A and B are shown apart, each in its own frame.
Chain A
Amino acid sequence: MEILYLLIPIAVIVLAVAIGALIWAVRSGQFEDLEGPAHRILMDDDDPRIPSRRREDTSEEDKDRST
């Protein structure tokens, strides 16, 4: 049972880490939109999220569609 004297403090440290992680998530805005991302993953070509690649991709897209 002496091992508990080590394990429980470790558990407390893990708890502190978990709380820290949650606070970081709240700060970085991960709780701002709880519904959107779930749907977004099902939509095709969500590259408007990637500004650098957007131009070329979409122009090809349009060509594909028009053929």
Chain B
Amino acid sequence: MSEEHHSCFHCGQPVPPGSHYQAVIDGEARPMCCPGCEAVANAIVEAGLEDFYRYRTENAPNPAQLVPEALKTLDLYDRPEVQQRFVSGEPEEREASLILEGITCAACVWLNERHVGNLPGVLEFSVNYSTQRARVRWDERQIQLSDILRAISAIGYRAHPYDPHRQAQVQQRERGRALRRLAIAGLGMMQVMMLAVALYAGEDQGMSRDMMHFLRWVSLIIATPVVVYAGWPFYTAAWRDLRQRQLGMDVPVALAVGGTYIASAIATVTRGGEVYFESATMFVFFLLLSRYLEMGARQRASAAVENLATLLPALATRLNAQGEETQVGVAELVPGDRVRIRPGETVPADGEVLSGTSSVDESLLTGESLPRPRQAGDGLIGGAVNVESPLEMRVTRVGQDTVLSGIQRLLDRAQSEKPRIARLAQRGTGHFVLLVLLLAAGAGLIWWQIDPARAFWVAVAVLVVSCPCALSLATPVAMTASTGQLTRRGVITTRGHALETLARMDTLIFDKTGTLTEGQLSLARVRPLGELSAPRALALAAALEQGSEHPLARAIRAEAGAPPSVERLQATPGCGVSGEIDGVTYRVGTLAFVSELSGIEGGAVPAATPGTSPVYLGSGEGMLALLELSDRLRCDAKATVAGLQELGIEVRLFSGDDAAAVSRVAEQLGIQQARGALLPADKLAGLRELQEQGQTVAMVGDGVNDAPVLSQAHVSIAMASGVELARNSADMILQSNRLGHLLGAVKQSRATLRIVRQNIGWALGYNLVALPVAAAGFLTPWLAALGMSLSSLLVVLNALRLLRGEKPASAPDREAGVSPLSPVADNEGRPG
């Protein structure tokens, strides 16, 4: 297959031209797209698990997201105070539950089980493919939990422990109860139905009275547990509705089931009249089935959200007067504390730098895409990430007074003021139910005058035929089908109204940094300023930057091949690096730093393109090159924006980044309305303005600064790569971080709304015809039950049309080394 040579054998992403990564799998050299995939593929081969590539039906996840910092924090999981929250058992047999991320097909399960199961000291490791959870038991005398987690990341997956006592057990109990009820209802319904067929046939062909009586008794015995035990949730829900003076769908359901059962039971005991146990049991079974499906979708969504939350406590390194370190919880910090922040760690509170020079990444807080230099005396915002070198800070504000809490307060206010859009499903339900109840009572009363014996059955027929079933199924089944479909495609719905609101939205606001862009710097281009060719300049710059963890340095290293060797490396934080290569001293870094060595010949140095960050390279000879780095657009951003505009949605851009960078991105994507340099409060004001104009607004964002807006928007989508605060404020989460899935979600939501409308239309139309017929007494309850079942079935089948569609894509977004012009990888799984 020619495609093999253009896409990574491991994750299926396109291989950037000129890439040299490869791994030998089954005796054949296979191309790899990035060092991450290469390392993972080699780890798999070395462990003797090459079969993985033969078994797999989907591409493996791209491991590029495994940043070294994340691996460093794994050691925290070995601490007893952290472990007590999720580990149980004796030292020789500890047990924990893990969430595994990146399971795309059954081969991933096999690979993880084999790889981890073979580690000395691991007693048991089993993965649940449906829930992507794993249970691990290990012997602490031989292996530590962090080693197990590291072994999992070595083969390209991410695992973190979770606390199964919180949600998982509650959900498991709920599932078990629902399944038991469903089993009893299903089996009971079948039996009662068989007996009912016999009874109907007996009516026709003359069955002995005794036999009929016997069959009715048996039906009563079987129907009792179904109606009483399996149908219990309906009665409690109906009772709750009545107590709150509402009329939900559960009221007529409970009335119809309870009424039919009681009347039939009386008829059985007194040997009078017909019995309709089959209607009651069928009713219970259908409704339970729909609710079970709904619950499954809901639990899957909440489990997927749980995947995003890690258990690591927020710890800070506090220094006492002698400079000794102690680890304390962030909550214990008080103003005046001295805290050490290592590279990669998060600033625990607001404060100021005491010593050290570094740069901090505030992109998630402010939307600022470039790290900003910080030195002694500068302020620090809690929640920013230290990127370069260790800092010592003095805490000045904690808890309620921090910038982060201020945003949190904005968020709370936004949440309480969130405008609601009336929901299609709930509108009119109460009125409809009231109408049906009145009609049933009216029909019963009228028939009481005509023929008292039939009055009750006419009322029941009206209740049953009105099919609260079809109406109450109309929305949930469609929503469930769509939610499941979207979850499979990497869009998790966390709030019930999200799909419906998404279908009606007409304005979509994007955040820029981390949403439309990848939120990480990458090399845009190299401009030679002297004799050096661009690739050579890049190689030199990469060589000088090899020891630095600054995002600029990492971006430069990612694009370069094997760097030449360097001597006398010397880093000046906030400025750059100098070093000697082949006897020549070079400097790489800011213009001021490099020109100290190179000198600037009057205006020979071009300014960087607006919206990019420049890195200069120079030697004693003069300036050699200008490397421009920018936060690259996600590869499917352009197509997504164009697709949304095609659907008639107005796309806007609100960002906290500086106006130049914002307008550049807007221009590239064809977004007309873009605003930059916005504070969280400004974003909120801009959104309210749109809402007051009567537009239904959706927001897509990832940062802390987006959280209030996400809460206030009619419907909001957060990137999974964003901060927890943003994810918690959003109605939907883009688990895959692929904007293309957002477009799919909008289309899917519109299809869902269409189906829901069809279903409700059908249910109402059917009722218009059936209700008068039933009230006129032409319908026996069993005919009514048949009508009800058929109409429910139709509604369900109609909703199942939503499950058709493309196969879900598997691999997450690329994070390194694909040129922005390359086509979007279509990660359809290939049999490996």
Which residues of chain A have a CB within 8 Å of any CB of chain B?
Answer: 1, 4-5, 8-9, 11-12, 15, 18-19, 22-23, 26-27, 31-36, 39-40, 42-46, 48-49, 51, 54, 58, 61-62, 65-66
Contact = CB atoms under 8 A, between A and B. Distances in A.
Contact of A36 (B117, B127, B183): B127
B172 A32 contact: yes
Contact of B117 (A11, A48, A65, A66): A48
Contact of B55 (A26, A31, A43, A54): A43
Contact of A18 (B48, B117, B187): B187
A40 B191 contact: no
Contact of B179 (A26, A36, A65): A26
Interface in B140-196: 172, 175-176, 179-180, 183-184, 187-188, 191
B118 A44 contact: no
Interface majority SS (helix, strand, loop, mixed), chain B = helix
Given A40-B106, A43-B55, A48-B113, A33 B129 contact: yes
Contacts of B114: 45, 48
Contacts of A36: 106, 109, 127-130
Contacts of A23: 180, 183
Contacts of B110: 39-40, 43, 46
B222 interface: yes
Contact of A26 (B118, B126, B128, B183): B183
Contacts of A8: 214-215, 218
B211 A1 contact: yes
A17 B184 CA distance: 11
B126 A49 contact: yes
A16 to B, nearest CB: 9
B129 A15 contact: no
Interface of B: 48, 51, 55, 106-107, 109-110, 113-114, 117-118, 123-131, 172, 175-176, 179-180, 183-184, 187-188, 191, 208, 211, 214-215, 218, 221-222
Contact of B106 (A19, A43, A65): A43
A49 B191 CA distance: 40
Specify the main secondary structure of chain A where it touches its partner: helix
14 contacts: A4-B211, A5-B214, A15-B191, A19-B187, A22-B183, A22-B187, A26-B180, A32-B131, A36-B129, A39-B110, A43-B51, A48-B114, A48-B124, A49-B126
A19 B48 contact: no
A30 to B, nearest CB: 10
Nearest to B221: A12
A24 to B, nearest CB: 10
B221 A51 contact: no
B130 A32 contact: yes
A12 B226 CA distance: 14
Contact of B176 (A12, A26, A54, A58): A26
A23 B179 CA distance: 8
A44 B211 CA distance: 57
Contacts of A35: 106, 129-130
Given A12-B218, A54-B117, A65 B48 contact: yes
Contacts of A26: 176, 179-180, 183
Contact of A31 (B118, B179, B218): B179
B141 to A, nearest CB: 16
A12 B222 contact: yes
A42 B273 CA distance: 57
B48 A61 contact: yes
A45 B51 CA distance: 11
Nearest to B183: A22
A37 B791 CA distance: 36
B796 to A, nearest CB: 20
A22 B48 CA distance: 40
B132 to A, nearest CB: 10
B184 A40 contact: no
A57 B584 CA distance: 58
Closest 3 CB pairs of A and B: A39-B106, A48-B117, A36-B129
Given A23-B183, A48-B114, A48-B117, 13 more contacts: A11-B191, A12-B218, A12-B221, A12-B222, A33-B131, A39-B110, A40-B109, A43-B110, A46-B110, A48-B118, A48-B126, A51-B124, A61-B48
